[in-house]
Amino acid sequence: MAAKARMLIFLGDGMAGRPLPELDGRTTLEATDTPSFDRVASEGACGMLNPISPGVAAGSDTAHMAILGYEPYEYYRGRGPFEAKGVGLEVNAGDVAFRCNFATVENGEVLENRAVIDRRAGRIKERTDELRQTINQQIPEIDGVKVLFKESVEHRCALVLRGEGLDEHITDVDPHAEEPTDYHECKPLPGYEEDEAAKRTARIVNQFVERSRKALNGHPLNQAREADDLKPANIILPRGVGTAVELEPFAERYKLSGALIVEVDLVRGLGLYLGMDVVTCEGATGGDDTDELAIAASVVSTFEDHDFVLANIKAPDLGGHDGNVEQKIAAIQKVDRALGYVLDNMDFDRAVVILAADHATPISVRDHSGDPVPAAFFGYGVTPDDVQSYGERACAQGYLGHFCGSDVMSILGNYAGAGEKYGA
Amino acid sequence: MAAKARMLIFLGDGMAGRPLPELDGRTTLEATDTPSFDRVASEGACGMLNPISPGVAAGSDTAHMAILGYEPYEYYRGRGPFEAKGVGLEVNAGDVAFRCNFATVENGEVLENRAVIDRRAGRIKERTDELRQTINQQIPEIDGVKVLFKESVEHRCALVLRGEGLDEHITDVDPHAEEPTDYHECKPLPGYEEDEAAKRTARIVNQFVERSRKALNGHPLNQAREADDLKPANIILPRGVGTAVELEPFAERYKLSGALIVEVDLVRGLGLYLGMDVVTCEGATGGDDTDELAIAASVVSTFEDHDFVLANIKAPDLGGHDGNVEQKIAAIQKVDRALGYVLDNMDFDRAVVILAADHATPISVRDHSGDPVPAAFFGYGVTPDDVQSYGERACAQGYLGHFCGSDVMSILGNYAGAGEKYGA
């Protein structure tokens, strides 16, 4: 059935939270003046969204998977494939993929030395494509497994292993430490010590790391960097492993032309993995300085040739992670302004939006939490309720009750007339 | 455990809806004077029922399966088996079954001609048993697959295929068009083109259709019809395919003696499939003219020898499909009157009822939608809440929150003292 209305999922990343004494027991959302949020809540249908299920703190990837209707407990096997896809690597079902960093190991030529003195290789910015070419030439395969490798921005890169008998139940190589720390040997996860595929995959990862050292040590770019007193990118540290699974493309599943406008690479990679159009928006920085009106304008213009858009503004999550009330409030105001622009420039007699967050990032937690987040549907087909403002406790009184991330596409499709009847 | 109270599921088919401008932003339920509904809501416990899950529009069959506790995502594989059971055919697990029409194909004797000029064979009413006998004699089996066929009322009939290697992932033959249109060749569904069972089943269906033409062309009844200027029933058009699955009989699952009083053949067929008693009620027409008090009296008398009754009055759904506010309001009043009779004539110190709809059929949608529907439990064991009237937004404030169709039997059994403790 063709949809009767356009569909928009509009997310303030990590926007929900918990009450704070310094805000007289209000959450940052409750304490912030958000006229556009409140308009949507008061004219629409509200409820509470558990991104995964009650109490479970979602990552960016699992939250967006669930909200797009791909049940993470069924389909999620690690972030690596989305990272690799975001970097532009080809990823096939069955591949094992990793996010990686170019990093600096002390005395690169001494293989026994494993001390990482900078896990971002001096935040290297340029000419990493030359390093990639060397890696691709020197490490085309390991033990019959095809090796795909590509650089991203700055120190970031990604790795794909393609072959039989691989498994993602292995540990990170990256030590995740700012101080000099030995990088880890990749090992099967506890419980997988005797798993042949996990053992083999760990062996291949360790060989890749060692061979990356040999390939990059003395590389012309690194010689130039050392001459300039810059840290050499003389090792590649994999982490965030995942196995690529078969996911039905978004367009096939929903018969919708869908686009993502998001500021997080991982979510962008998920969108690419689902075959969605990932729109690049000039001015979307992913930081507190992002141009929220540019994002809003991009949402409006993307609907010119799409039925469905998911937009996510990252800033509120940053304030939550930083535990900074003023920062988070300013970011929430940005999201509200962006929504205001969308409300002013789209016809909601022919569109329906859900305003929500992908998860809570409470100031008091400084990380994602498993709290429910407020949600408000507004526009075509929606039954308004009595909720008058958008906030954690206000929306809990709404008509839609509590629902899960994986219900969002069904509820949105129901309002938009895009759902198919299940049964006769 | 023996139940301490009788259990009644009382449904107004498609009774829920969405706000309408012509009703000052109220739904038809909210705008209709329903004293008995409101009594149940104000003295009972309210909540919102998602027949399948939030946002998913349910069919009559899947909604009733869920409400009777048979999770459709696990057990539903198409309507055909319920249709065939409703017609009186034997259906075994593994059978592939169809709803069919007797129809009229132009120039029946020319097999190349596929134009259906009347998909109801002039709404044939009589002597279709003679056509059935001919079909049964001439098409006892196809390619080792047993063929069972039986007529129902008017142009309706049903087909069961019994044998190894059959599959329901195939398309309809019926073109579902009122204007002359070629009937379809049965084919595997997209994604099943290489599935041997789907290919074989499609082949057998096409053979059945062709052989039905040969058997019916020139049939004495059709000769008589043509002499009377009536359209001949010279082809059988299958649709609504489904594979029969093993469903635990209602009486075994719940240790209850259960009956259905419903006006929809498909739901009646589901009841028969579950081994329930399907009560025929004189005066229940399935239309707007149905005798709601006869249905109510039948509910009361059926409890004389049953513990459990599900009753469904079809009329509100018709007004929803027709997009006719007055029609739907009048139908809702019928359901309210029927409930009033039940309240007056049963002892709810020894009975518990849930008042609900199997799904919403909003006037503005003119089809089933995935909106939640209001639900009210009343009688034995029920904890009353503050909700004062039965309606979409009133019940959303109820004590029971949002729950799913597949929770209904548990909640009802809990109040009735019929549930068994899960665990020790």
Within 8 A by CB and 6+ apart from A133, the residues are none
| pLDDT above 50 for A78 | yes
CA A335 to chain B, closest CA, distance in angstroms equals 26
Following DSSP, what letter does each residue of B7-29 receive, concatenated? EEEEEETTBB---BGGGTTB-HH
Kindly state whether residues B355 and B256 are assigned to the same domain: yes
Q: State the average pLDDT over residues A133-148.
A: 98
Looking at the fold, whether A140 and A270 belong to one and the same domain comes out as no
Q: Is B88 an 8 Å CB contact of chain A?
A: no
Q: Can you tell me the distance from the alpha carbon of A290 to that of A334, in angstroms, rounded to the nearest whole number?
A: 9
C-alpha distance from B58 to closest chain A C-alpha (Å): 5
From chain A residues 365-394, the ones with a CB under 8 A of any chain B CB are 381, 383-386
Judged against a pLDDT cut of 90, whether residue B51 lies above it is answered with yes
Interface test with A, best of B393, B395, B399, B403 (most A CBs within 10 A): B393
Residue B421 falls within a domain, yes or no? Answer: no
B165-187 pLDDT, tens digit per residue, is 999 999 999 999 889 999 999 99
- Residues B316 and B196 grouped into a single domain: no
Q: Looking at the domain assignment, is residue A86 inside a domain? A: yes
On whether both B196 and B258 belong to a single domain, the answer is no
Whether A183 and A224 map to the same domain: the answer is yes
Closest CA to B387 of A9, B378, A391: B378
Domain boundaries, position B208 = 81-243
What angle separates helix A325-345 from helix A315-322, to the nearest 10 degrees? 170
d(CA A358, CA A371) in angstroms, rounded, equals 11
What long-range pairs does B142-150 form, CB within 8 A, spacing at least 24? B142/B204, B142/B207, B142/B208, B142/B211, B143/B200, B143/B203, B143/B204, B143/B207, B145/B204, B147/B208, B148/B84, B148/B89, B148/B90, B149/B89, B149/B100, B149/B236, B150/B84, B150/B87, B150/B88, B150/B89
Query: A423–B369: do the CB atoms touch at under 8 Å?
Result: no
Q: Which of B57, B76, B393 sits opposite A421 (nearest CB)?
A: B57
* Cα dihedral A392, A396, A401, A404 in deg (nearest 10): 20
Instruction: Name the closest residue on chain A to residue B16, using Cα atoms.
Output: A383
Of A216, A243, A270, which marks where a domain is finished?
Answer: A243
Cβ A421–B59 below 8 Å, yes or no? yes
Q: Is B212 on the interface with A (CB under 8 A)?
A: no
Percentage of chain B beyond pLDDT 90 is: 97
- Which spans in A217-264 are helix H? 220-227, 250-254
Which CATH number is B351's domain given? Answer: 3.40.720.10
Residue type, B322: D
Nearby residues of A404 by Cβ (< 8 Å), 6 or more positions away: A49, A50, A51, A52, A53, A66, B54
B237's tokens: 């058009």
Q: How far is A298 from chain B (nearest CA, A)?
A: 28
Nearest CB partner across the interface for B61, out of A383, A419, A423: A423
B73: closest CA of chain A, how far (Å) = 9
What pLDDT score was predicted for residue A98? Answer: 98
Q: Do A411 and B55 touch (CB under 8 A)?
A: yes
Q: Which of A324, A422, A395, A309 is nearest to A50 (CA)?
A: A395
**What is the DSSP secondary-structure string of B357-369?**
-SSB--TTTTS-B
Q: Is residue A277 part of a domain?
A: yes
Examine the domain organization and report whether B286 and B146 are in the same domain: no
How much is the average pLDDT of B136-158? 96
Which residue in A276, A193, A245, A306 sits closest to A81, CA to CA?
A245
Q: Residue B59: which of A384, A400, A422 has the nearest Cβ?
A: A422
Please say whether the beta carbons of B235 and B103 come within 8 A. yes
A20-41 tens-digit pLDDT: 999 999 999 999 999 999 999 9
CB distance from B59 to chain A under 8 Å? yes
Dihedral sign, CA of A199, A204, A208, A211?
A: positive
CB A318 within 8 A of CB A327: yes
Half-sphere exposure of residue A165: CA atoms within 13 angstroms, side-chain side: 11
Q: Are residues A234 and A267 in the same domain?
A: no
CA B172 to each of CA A233, A301, B139, B240: distance values in angstroms, whole numbers, following the listed order: 62, 40, 20, 7
Residue A164, both tokens? 């039989």
Q: Is residue A423 part of a domain?
A: no
Answer yes or no: is B423 within a domain: no
Cα→Cα distances B36→A274, B316, B388, B390, B408, Å? 50, 16, 12, 9, 21
Q: Domain boundary residue among A194, A225, A243?
A: A243
Q: What's the number of domains chain A is made of? A: 2
* Chain-chain contact of B401 with A402 (C-beta, under 8 angstroms): yes
Kindly determine whether residue A421 and residue B397, on different chains, have CB atoms separated by under 8 Å: no
A423 contacts B62? CB cut-off 8 A: yes
Task: Return the pLDDT at B39.
Answer: 98
Are A203 and A307 in a shared domain?
A: no
Confirm or reject contact between A251 and chain B (CB < 8 A).
no
What does residue A100 show for φ and ψ, rounded to 5 degrees? -135, 160
> Which among B27, B48, B53 is the top mutation candidate for probing chain A, defined by the most A β-carbons within 10 Å of its own β-carbon?
B53
Torsion angle (degrees, nearest 10) of CA A354, A358, A359, A362: -90
Q: Is the pLDDT of residue A201 over 60?
A: yes
Other C-beta atoms within 10 Å of B133: how many?
12
pLDDT interval class at A178 (50, 70, 90): confident
Q: Residue A421 is nearest to which of B48, B368, B397, comparing CB atoms?
A: B368
> Does residue B167 lie within any of the structural domains?
yes
Q: Is the pLDDT of residue A185 over 90?
A: yes
Q: At which of A243, A264, A294 does a domain end?
A: A243
Question: Residue B321 falls within a domain, yes or no?
Answer: yes
- A397 CB near a chain B CB, below 8 Å? yes
CB atoms near residue A57 (< 10 Å): 17
Provide ipTM, 2 decimals. 0.93
Residue A200 lies in a domain: yes
Q: Give the model confidence (pLDDT) of B228-287 as tens digits.
A: 999 999 999 999 999 999 999 999 999 999 999 999 999 999 999 999 999 999 999 999
Pair A57, A188 in one domain = no
Does A383 share its domain with A262?
Answer: yes
Assess whether pLDDT exceeds 80 at residue B1.
no
Please say if the pLDDT value at position A1 is more than 80: no
Residue B365's closest CA among A410, A419, A417? Answer: A417
Task: Specify whether A205 is located in the same domain as A137.
Answer: yes
Q: Do residue B85 and residue B65 come from a single domain?
A: no
B99 contacts: CB under 8 Å, gap ≥ 6: B79, B80, B83, B84, B156, B158, B238, B239, B240
- Cα dihedral A177, A182, A185, A191, rounded to 10, equals -50
C-alpha A11: how far from chain center: 12
pLDDT of the residue at A187:
98
Task: Write the pLDDT tens digit of every residue in A347-375.
Answer: 999 999 999 999 999 999 999 999 999 99
